[in-house]
Amino acid sequence: MNAYEIAVIPGDGIGPEVVDATLPFVADAAEERGAAFETTRFEWGTEYYLDHGEMMPDDGLDRLAEFDAIFLGAVGHPEVPDHVTLHGLLLPIRKGLDQYVCERPNVLFDGIESPLRGYGGGDVDFVVYRENTEGEYADIGGREHRGFDHETAVQSALFTRRGTERIIRAAFEAATEREGHLTSVTKSNAQAHSMVFWDDIVEEVAAEFPSVEVERLLVDAAAMDLIRRPHEFDVVVASNLFGDVLTDIGAQITGSMGLAPSGNVHPGPEYPSMFEPVHGSAPDIVGDGVANPLATVLSWSLLFDDLGEGDVADALWDGVADQLADGSAPRTPDLGGSAGTEAVVSDLRSRL
């Protein structure tokens, strides 16, 4: 039996709801397939911030670095500004543990009705490779002359050759394992420095992958085409901000924010990767017991896949697919049902 040490950060809002509802079931499913894991729970987040003045302790990243993987619920609280909470916990982990590949699958499952007319199960299946450590999320800039008419804000984007090349190469590698089609999304008609640089690197890396067919889209056209012809996408590679925006579209056209999983992957052995649902803390439904736990289960599936535990990963993924395909299974309100989080998890348990 392989045994793993997993750090769990439930975080804010519905984060603890979906993490606590899924953890015992996921632990059993893993153990039954020969992958035991111990969790260490870190109660970091906005409550911690209100008590301690920081979202996590100073040595937080060093402590996380010791684990085999990290699972995170969500971060964000109506009482504290988002730039404080996200810059205090989620974003420093992605950057500090060099989790440069943000991998976000977008799959329209059987039994799920897409808001797009005519699309059924299996018709949408693409993965977004989002750069996760720099780009528009670089913490470079400042505000000057506060309160004056000439008050100024500067926010610079950072595109390094190393950072750009490695996410593009990771996306090409993924394309060779999938359908061999890669869409690079930029805005090089307007952003003539960083995005033309990105295009140049796509061209360089493409030479190493002659079997991959490369398409380039401007981000506005990509937003349109993800709605107009989502069936044609396979692997999408984009900068940090563009990848963020496009994956909310991906979640919605495949049924719900409550079904979208995500991995923040550091591909080497130096640091652990972190897995989390794409959604946030959903303050509008917190405490109602209706948060969809399936994005969380699918994110656990990505975690086990990354650890090399394919059987566990497949069991969790297939269990979700099986439940969604069953018209009589419980569903949360985001999928048009009236069941709660717990009912969905216990049904899933019975399927595995």
Cβ 282 to ligand IPM, closest distance in Å? 12
Q: Site for ligand IPM (CB under 6 A): which residue of 35, 93, 124, 278? A: 278
Interface region with ligand IPM, contact rule CB under 6 A, candidates 83-91, 187-195, 198-206, 288-296? 83-91
Q: Site for Mn ion (CB under 5 A): which residue of 98, 103, 125, 244? A: 244
Cβ 222 to Mn ion, closest distance in Å? 16
Binding to ligand IPM in span 241-260, by CB under 6 A: 244
Cβ 86 to ligand NAD, closest distance in Å? 6
The C-alpha atoms of residue 168 and residue 287 are separated, in whole angstroms, by 40
Please provide residue 118's backbone torsions phi and psi, each rounded to the nearest 5 degrees: 85, -5
Residue among 17, 6, 11, 14 at smallest CA distance from 48:
11
Q: Check if 248 is active-site.
A: yes
Binding to ligand NAD in span 109-168, by CB under 6 A: none
Annotated catalytic residue, options 98, 234, 244, 334: 244
State the amino acid at position 286 in one-letter form. Answer: V
Q: What radius of gyration do the chain's Cα atoms show? A: 20
Q: Check if 48 is active-site.
A: no
Residue among 219, 243, 234 at smallest CA distance from 131:
243
Count CB neighbours of 221 within 10 A: 14
Interface region with ligand NAD, contact rule CB under 6 A, candidates 31-39, 138-146, 206-214, 278-286? 278-286
Across the chain, where does the E strand assignment appear? Answer: 2-11, 35-41, 69-74, 101-107, 125-131, 135-144, 152-158, 181-186, 213-218, 235-238, 261-265, 273-277
Q: Site for ligand IPM (CB under 6 A): which residue of 86, 214, 223, 249? A: 86
State the amino acid at position 86 in one-letter form. Answer: L
Binding site for ligand NAD (CB under 6 A): 14, 18, 74-76, 82, 86, 90, 257-258, 276, 279-285, 291-292, 295, 332, 334
- For the annotated catalytic residues, the residue numbers are 137, 187, 220, 244, 248
